[in-house]
Structure formats: structure tokens, C-alpha cells
Structure 1
Amino acid sequence: MNRFTLTLAAAATALSFTSAAFAGEQYIDETGFAVSGYDVVSYFSLDQNPVGEAQPAPTQGNKSITADYNGSTFAFSSEANRDLFTADPAKYAPQYDGHCAYGVAKGGKVPGNPTLWRILDGKLYLNITKNVVGFWEEDIPGNLELSTANWGDLDPKPASEATIPQWSSAAPLE
């Protein structure tokens, strides 16, 4: 079994004991949309790259195809994706209200970059910068354990108002 398989197996085990990791204020950047206007359903149709490699880009949503959830507006690239989301929003919404998973593991709420993502055990996790992705991936199971433990104290705190560093939306919402 290779390192990637072992890491994902351990992460899946750790996640099976966790509760939902969203319910507070969603992180919203300057776009005014959750996940910077990216279609959260689109992540789940992408082929995920192994640990250590960048993930493919998600699909940008359309500002006229939206749904509200968790106090914020999510944009979608198609009505079919919006309908999938509204049928089960918890399945598609990013964990930790769109905040950086490694930041939560370290005890804080910082923005999640929608292009720095990983799906583990059917849940979408975002991180803030490429460097942080490296730290996150060094010990995904351990970081998930920490983030799960920390989230209960962080969840009631306000969402981050910081800008995602070194990032700008790939394309404006249509």
C-alpha cells in the first residue's frame, strides 16, 4: 500500500468518528458568495490528485444560479448542480464553514482558498495557501483530529473577514 492510500485510509477512519464540521458563519470573500463563487458540487466530479500534487480547478458558478445555505449564497454552474446541492447541502458545503482546515487544526479561523482543496470521506476541505497544503498533507489524520477537536470552540466565533492571500478569483461570476 502506498503512502497516499495509507493516508487516505487513516483519514477516512478519523473522519468516521467526527460530526458535521459546519454550522457557524460561512467564510465569504469579496465576491459575496460562499467558496468565492465556485460550484461546490463540481468538486465531487473531479479526479482528485494524490497528496503532494495540486488539485484540478473547480468550476466557477453562475451568479444567476444560486441557493442559500448556512446564511450565505452559493453559486452553481448549472441548475442540475444547484438541485443536487439543495437536496443535500451538508454533503457539498465545505467543512469548517469554508475556513482553512489546517488553520482550524492550529486553532483559528482563516480563509479557505477554493482552489486548494481535498475531498476526504466524502467531505470537502479547503486550505489557505500552497505552503499550508504541504503542512496539512504531512499528517492529514492528525490534522483532522486536531481540527475536529478545535472546531467546537471556534464554531460560535465570527467568520474570518480576511482576504485570501496571494489569490484572486480565476474568473468573475457570469
Structure 2
Amino acid sequence: MIIPCTRRPLFSTLVVSTLALTISLSACAPSTTESSQSASSQSASSQSAQPVSSTSSTADTAEPKVYTQEGIAIKGADPVAYFTESAFVEGSADYTHEWQGVTWQFASAENRDLFADDPEAYAPEYGGYCAWAVGQKALVAVDPAAWEIVDGKLYLNANQKVQTRWAKDIPGNIALADTHWPELSAQ
């Protein structure tokens, strides 16, 4: 027996909405054809950036989610160097610090010590996940070369294309991500 579907328009709307979100988030996938943006092309705001301790809305009893690959935070990038050198700098296995249950790498002992003294001042927002994607209610890997410091806080994005999209409305995108991060970080 075949029962006619009387809710087809609603189902179609949901499918189309889901497809649109999937297509939008597909732009977050790291591109192998794009070259990394040089530090000199980052915004003037990041040139003399001072870190600001993050005020996380995640409960103090649970460690927030941190983007890692093989237990290493943010693909091994040195989070302090974004502030001190205004550049994406690879960290080294020689200089590490454990924080929030993961290993953070640094280019120098000095950067490691700065981070250890105040990790929330240097750690990227949203656990190092793509800032634009968090605003879209998704956790997406990042390209550490796609970054921006805004009001003393480090934001990473999936790739340069997504970084450009995110930069078109930084305050709006941050507000969206701030709204969705508590739920996403608890997953």
C-alpha cells in the first residue's frame, strides 16, 4: 500500500536548506591549490597586536574542545608568534606545553613560556576551529596561515577563501560564532 506524502513541500525545503549549508561549508575544506598568505599581507590590526585573555562561556568544569591533529593543537602552529611576530610560524616538537589535554608547539622556549604563563591570552578562539564555520554551527579544520587578530584575540579559518568571506563581516561573524560555540564545544 502506498501512502501519499502530504508534507513533500516541507521535506523539499529541508533538503534544499541542508544542501545549501553543505555547499557553504564545503568552502571550508582546505584547498591544495591556494598558496599560503604571507604575514606581510595580514591586516594592520595584527601588526602590533597584544593578546587579550579569552572569556570563554564554557563551564569551568569541562575543558573546551580544541582542534588537534594527532594530539597536536592547531596543526603545530606557534600561537604566540601570531602576536609577537605578526606571522604564522611553525612550532617545534622541541618546545611544547600541555594545556587543555593537548600538546601545543612553539618556535622557541620564550614563546612556550609566554603561553604557559597565560594560555588564554594566546590560544585561538573557538578552540582553534574555523571561526567562520563555527558561526555556521560546524566544526571545521583550519589552515594556520588563514588568520586574523581582532581586538587582541586570534581567529583561524579553514583557508584563504573562507578567511576572505569571514573578513567581509568580522563583527557579525564573531557574534554568530560566539553564539554557537558553547553548544559546539560541548559536543
Q: Is the 8 A contact 2:135 2:173 kept in 1?
A: yes
Partner of 1:29: 69
Aligned residues: 134
AA aligned to 2:139 is K
Q: Provide structure 2 residue ranges, at least 5 long, that are not aligned to the other structure.
A: 1-42, 46-51
Partner of 1:95: 125
The 5-angstrom pairing of residues 1-174 of structure 1 reads 19-20=55-56, 23-30=63-70, 32-47=71-86, 56=87, 58-157=88-187
Structure 1 residues 21, 108: CA separation in 2 closer, same or farther (over 3 Å shift)?
farther
Normalising by structure 2, report the TM-score.
Answer: 0.66
What SS class does the counterpart of residue 109 from structure 1 fall into? coil
Q: CA deviation at 1:138?
A: 0.8
Please list every run of at least 4 consecutive aligned residues from structure 1 whose deviation after the TM superposition is greater than 6 angstroms.
none
Structure 1 residues 85, 21: CA separation in 2 closer, same or farther (over 3 Å shift)?
farther
What SS class does the counterpart of residue 126 from structure 1 fall into? strand
Q: Provide structure 1 residue ranges, at least 5 long, that are not aligned to the other structure.
A: 9-15, 48-55, 158-174
Q: Distance in 2 between matches of 1:132 and 1:61?
A: 24
What SS class does the counterpart of residue 120 from structure 2 fall into? helix
Q: Is the 8 A contact 1:25 1:71 kept in 2?
A: no
Q: Distance in 1 between matches of 2:57 and 2:102?
A: 16
Q: CA RMSD in A?
A: 2.2
Q: Distance in 1 between matches of 2:122 and 2:174?
A: 18
Q: CA deviation at 1:64?
A: 1.8
Report sequence identity in percent.
38
Q: Distance in 2 between matches of 1:78 and 1:20?
A: 27
Look at both structures and tell me which one has the larger radius of gyration over its CA atoms.
Answer: 2
Q: Distance in 2 between matches of 1:95 and 1:112?
A: 12
